[in-house]
């Protein structure tokens, strides 16, 4: 990962100073680098020899960073990872364009690796991610969203890149289709689990002790699984509450407390974590065809770690 980080910083360079400035703001802001780590992990799992994995890992992180820049513009977000969002510092305009630049650089790096199959997987992911975001936009603030519809959204916006990041490992290692599919499945299911835990954490997760970083989704009127479950299980009054706070964006701080109370009553957060466990289990089983190895064990632990964040 250290070498991937160096590659990321090297490839974000441009004579147009605004580009490295914005990109570094986001890249250095304490992201977990989960997606590029997955590319390195599945490459190692498949005994890949070479340095293509690092370039693909950096490309995956660039794709992710581009998505974050565009997402913050689309959502009108003011904060990102506890810092001011890039759009608050440099404007929406620069955020859109620097995102485009990073996407272009990502494709350049993929081309350098020279695997058309990896390029296919990652360019398909790029289209699917954008499709998922448009779907989310169209479903935005609709409290009647079903769990299936919500899953379709996060399959696009989160799981697609996790899946692609994992699939390119066996591809560049020249492994058989079955191993590519296994890694892809591991990534897709881990991605869904990861997103669901994120959703739960935004309402405090399973912890009784609410941190200060709770409620962003609520204030932005985002429909996530804890809301979907609470809305479906709720009374008529509660449904009016969700419509007022989320659809009409009239949420106050007191409303957030009430939202969490309603969720606890319906076990919506617990069940969101349960759903995440289900996808986590699928991710682990997907790796069954690989022989035991330290990397395989680390990848399985990564799933447990992802779920354990909810506490």
Instruction: Give the binding site for a second copy (CB under 8 A).
Output: 14-19, 66-67, 70, 73-75, 92-94, 96-98, 100-101, 103-105, 107-108, 110-112, 114, 116, 119-120, 123-131, 133-135, 137-138
Q: CA-CA distance, 56 to 172, in Å (whole number)? A: 10
Residue 17 C-beta: closest distance to a second copy, Å: 8
Burial of 299 (0-12, 13-18, 19+ CB in 10 A): buried
Residue 106 C-beta: closest distance to a second copy, Å: 8
- Angle, CA 19 vertex, CA 79 and CA 165 arms, to 5°: 70
Residue 180 C-beta: closest distance to a second copy, Å: 16
Nearer to a second copy, 41 or 121 (CB): 121
Nearer to a second copy, 135 or 281 (CB): 135
Nearer to a second copy, 120 or 285 (CB): 120
Residue 151 C-beta: closest distance to a second copy, Å: 14
**Contact in structure between 295 and 308 (CB atoms under 8 Å):** no
Nearer to a second copy, 60 or 286 (CB): 60
Q: CA-CA distance, 51 to 46, in Å (whole number)? A: 14
Residue 102 C-beta: closest distance to a second copy, Å: 8
Nearer to a second copy, 96 or 281 (CB): 96
Residue 283 C-beta: closest distance to a second copy, Å: 25
**Contact in structure between 152 and 177 (CB atoms under 8 Å):** no
Between helix 2-11 and helix 52-75 the angle, nearest 10°, is 60
Helix (H) or strand (E) holding 22: helix 18-27
Please name the residues in contact with 120: beta carbons below 8 A apart, sequence gap of 6 or more.
none
Nearer to a second copy, 100 or 250 (CB): 100
Q: Which residue has the tokens 């695997």?
A: 115
């Amino acid at each position: 990962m250290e070498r991937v980080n160096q590659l990321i910083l090297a490839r974000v360079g441009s004579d147009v100073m605004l580009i490295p400035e914005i990109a570094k703001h986001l890249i250095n802001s304490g992201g977990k680098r989960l997606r590029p780590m997955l590319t390195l992990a599945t490459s190692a799992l498949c005994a890949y020899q070479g340095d293509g994995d690092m370039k693909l890992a950096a490309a995956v992180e660039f794709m992710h960073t581009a998505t974050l820049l565009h997402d913050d513009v689309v959502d009108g977000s003011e904060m990102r990872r506890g810092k001011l969002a890039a759009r608050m510092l440099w404007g929406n305009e620069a955020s859109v364009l620097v995102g485009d630049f990073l996407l272009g650089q990502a494709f350049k790096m993929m081309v350098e690796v020279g695997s058309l199959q990896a390029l296919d997987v990652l360019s398909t992911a790029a289209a699917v991610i954008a499709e998922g975001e448009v779907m989310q936009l169209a479903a935005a603030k609709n409290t009647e969203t079903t769990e299936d519809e919500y899953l379709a959204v996060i399959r696009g916006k989160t799981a697609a890149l996790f899946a692609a990041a994992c699939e390119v490992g066996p591809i560049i290692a020249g492994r058989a289709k079955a191993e590519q599919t296994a890694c892809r499945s591991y990534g897709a299911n881990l991605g869904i689990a990861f997103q669901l835990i994120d959703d739960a954490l935004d309402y405090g997760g399973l912890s009784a002790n609410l941190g200060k970083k709770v409620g962003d989704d609520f204030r932005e009127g985002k429909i996530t699984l804890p809301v979907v479950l609470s809305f479906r299980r709720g009374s008529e009054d509660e449904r009016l509450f969700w419509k007022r706070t989320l659809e009409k964006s009239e949420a106050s701080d007191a409303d957030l407390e009430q939202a969490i109370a309603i969720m606890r009553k319906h076990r919506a957060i617990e069940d969101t974590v349960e759903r995440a466990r289900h996808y986590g289990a699928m991710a682990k089983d997907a790796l069954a065809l690989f022989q035991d190895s330290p990397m395989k064990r680390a990848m399985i632990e990564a799933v447990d770690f992802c779920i354990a964040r909810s506490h």
